Amino acid sequence: MDGGGEQLVFAYGTLRLGQHNHSRLHGSRFLGVCLSPHAFTLLRVGNFPAAVEAGTQSITGEVYAVGGHRLSALDELEGYPNFFDRAIIDTRFGPSWMYVYQRATGHEPRISSGDWLYR
């Protein structure tokens, strides 16, 4: 799924509509809102959320179809692969990339709603 064509991305934080990094998705197709599988924990890390691959939480996000060049730009924004890594999750729109946090210390506050917009 990591080729140069269109890819699906599950955006759960500052890339979402109305958030300060949403413009980074310019030219991408919005497919809709959905929940991640119940396999994560959503944390607050300063002024952004960070999903970790541990837990039983479902996270609210938006799925976008992005071009390969746009995915590369998102990777740079997210500090991939050292700060955030990418994982494939199942969504109702198909398999989607989700950025998962690699530097959790265990001291970050949990966002219990699973939704960055309703923290």
Residues identified as active-site? 78
**Shortest CA distance to 101 belongs to which of 89, 77, 83, 119?**
83
25 vs 85: CA distance, rounded Å: 18
13 vs 93: CA distance, rounded Å: 19
Reduced 3-state DSSP string for 14-43? CCCCCCCCHHHHCCCEEEEEEECCCCEEEE
